[in-house]
Chain A
Amino acid sequence: NAGVTQTPKFRILKIGQSMTLQCTQDMNHNYMYWYRQDPGMGLKLIYYSVGAGITDKGEVPNGYNVSRSTTEDFPLRLELAAPSQTSVYFCASRPSAYEQYFGPGTRLTVT
């Protein structure tokens, strides 16, 4: 199993541009999550999904959108990039309860 994969690994965006961060898991997990990690702040939950077709907001959803059309994929969309969205983004999944499995992250810079 590849586990949780994320693309791209790095990206630089100009203010106002849009992009989609891709996340795929091959473990047939129902639950998937998007986090952002900022220095000294830990991880903050952006959006999550409990299964295909079901998504919900986390702590910091403003400026982002998600969709979950399949069990495997959970893309994160930034519509109008802002400097405040410069961060490292992690996708994670979990089967039912207990621990989450994390992808390697996407480092995004908005200038």
Chain B
Amino acid sequence: AQSVTQLDSQVPVFEEAPVELRCNYSSSVSVYLFWYVQYPNQGLQLLLKYLSGSTLVESINGFEAEFNKSQTSFHLRKPSVHISDTAEYFCAVSDRSNDYKLSFGAGTTVTVRA
């Protein structure tokens, strides 16, 4: 069975500072990995995904995540955050053995201050 652990529940950060959100997963098979973002009072939007190939994946708004198979991690980073990045971020994993159902972490709330 899959499980996802997001190591930080709250991350306060100043505008233009870097941020890293940590995600570890457990699965016995090859996985697909996702980061979703939820802005206040909205649904979840896909931020980026790892399916195969290059272990470094990027989003259009400056986030990146690196798949590390040996450490079973998929940490999310942004070198310089904006106020508009204030949101909750969810790491999720799926694999073929579970018919690609998503297992979510508990979420990390990022609050960006000026």
Contacts and interface: CB of A to CB of B under 8 A. Distances in A.
B43 A99 contact: no
Contact of A90 (B9, B43, B51, B107): B43
B9 A42 contact: no
Interface size class of B (residues with CB under 8 A): 20 to 34
A41 B106 CA distance: 5
A40 B106 CA distance: 5
Given A40-B107, A42-B90, A90-B44, A100 B102 contact: yes
Given A41-B106, A42-B105, A97-B32, A104 B46 contact: no
Nearest to A41: B106
Interface of B: 4, 9, 32, 34, 36, 42-46, 49, 51, 90, 94, 96, 99-102, 104-107
Interface of A: 4, 31, 33, 40-43, 45, 48, 50, 58, 90, 92, 94, 97-105
